[in-house]
Amino acid sequence: MKHNLENLYKYRYLLWDLVLRDLKVKYRRSILGFAWSILNPLLMMLVITAVFQNLFQTSIENFPIYYLTGYLFFSFVTESTNMAMNSIVWSSALIKKVYMPKYIFPLEKCLFGFVNMLFSFIATIMMMLVLRVPFTPSFFAFPIPMLYLFVFALGLSYFLAAANVFFRDIAHLYGVFTTAWMYLTPIFYPMDMLPNFMVQILKLNPLYHFILYFRALVMQNHIPDLHSNLVCMGFSLIMFLFGVWFFKRKQDRFILYI
């Protein structure tokens, strides 16, 4: 562990350069550039609000904020894990020529996704100002659920990145999985419309707990209790430790398959 941290410190500038490169590539030849990270969730929010709040008469208070808080977390996980899943394969030429810790590549994709999430978070703040949702002291604890989410996404990224080297079809299967995952995550529908057994199933979904924690800070003006923190921490650490263990176990064989 100490050796990995020393390596991470040694390659910190490379890691930052890779994140900057991905940011530049994503917005290359885009007129609005980084503004798309703010506009995209706002435009999605307008569409979803028009459909779910008006057509289905959704009774959620401040529905745009409700949607954005869920969309923000779900899009970060799907974006970062999808990129990290292919990070080893995409970097095969570099891995074959130059030595560097392989765990840097999935980590860089998660950091890139995290930076995007922070930009998108500005859209949530803007809507809070428009709807006059108060910024209470609990709001400023928002880095806590974001940290839980990042650790969880990083662990999942390590697992997917390693598995994808040996089984390339996992990218197609993961697309189906994330579609199902979206509907099992309370992003745009209220929890009270679900029967009790469905709520119990949703509680097995880590994103359910991360999003509820985030909404408690932003919309309900309170910091979740110790139990909520332990649940989120448990999901994050279990996924992270499993992902790191799996990646470390398989990384020496990457060179034979990329």
Report how far Cα 173 is from the mean position of its chain's Cα atoms: 18
Q: How many CB atoms lie within 10 A of CB 102?
A: 23
pLDDT in tens, 237-248: 999 999 999 999
What's the CA gap between 27 and 92, in Å, rounded?
24
Burial class of residue 257, CB neighbours in 10 A (0-12, 13-18, 19+): middle
pLDDT in tens, 201-226: 889 999 999 999 999 999 988 899 99
Q: Please give the chain's pLDDT, 258 residues, in tens.
A: 555 666 667 777 778 888 888 877 777 666 566 677 788 888 888 888 877 766 656 677 888 899 999 999 999 999 999 999 999 988 888 877 877 788 899 999 999 999 999 988 999 999 999 989 889 999 999 999 999 999 999 999 999 999 999 988 898 899 999 999 999 998 888 887 888 888 888 899 999 999 999 999 999 888 999 999 999 999 999 999 999 999 999 988 888 777
> Using an 8 Å Cβ cutoff, are 164 and 89 in contact?
yes
